[in-house]
Structure 1
Amino acid sequence: MPEDVLFKSESDRDRAEIASLLRRVADNLDAGEAITLTAGSESVTLEPPARPTFEVKAEREGPADGPGELSVEFELEWDETDEGGESDGALEIE
């Protein structure tokens, strides 16, 4: 299935700014509200269902024998016509 990127933003931010953005997403999810992403003139509003699939991934990219780039990705996923997926285990984040 082809991917259609609706919105993308990438910028260096300090940890407090990132935490504030993630907190805003968390607050909207908790309240059952839509999430609007805006950067410059680009904007998209998404309405996650009550039970979207939540994926967490930690990665190292780069050469196997040297330092690379580390990342952690948080992804909410759902079918546009579906109400969400099933849980496959308990996730904890410390």
Structure 2
Amino acid sequence: MGRETILFKSEERKNRSEIAGILRLIADKVEEGKVSLSNNAQSVEVSLPENMVLEIKVEEEVKHKKKYSLEIELEWTEGGEEPGGVVIN
């Protein structure tokens, strides 16, 4: 079994407008093929291949209250290219 190392993690409360702006900036960087992320404690820069796997997931968790999450994940293999295709309506 392989090992997983977290290279960067950030979690902050933002309003919808701020989140949309960050997602637009990330989208531009994905299109350019290089994403740099940093905060006070850490930074990482990744080069992205032309094709990747895009995973979009919405989850509902019920404990005391319902909690929802929307996760957007890009996956790729070093030196490999993944076929792509997603439809957003």
| TM-score calculated relative to the size of structure 2 | 0.86
1:16-65 C-alpha deviation (Å, 9 max, x unpaired): 11111111111112233x101111131000111000111100001224xx
Q: Equivalent residues in 2 for 1:1-94 (5 A)?
A: 1-32=2-33, 34-63=34-63, 67-82=65-80, 84-87=81-84, 90-93=86-89
CA distance in 1, matches of 2:86, 2:51: 14
Q: Which runs of 4+ in 1 moved over 4 A?
A: none
Shift of 1:2: 2.0
What are the ranges of 5 or more consecutive residues in structure 1 without an aligned counterpart? none
* RMSD over aligned Cα atoms: 1.6
Shift of 1:5: 0.5
| TM-score calculated relative to the size of structure 1 | 0.82
CA distance in 2, matches of 1:41, 1:90: 34
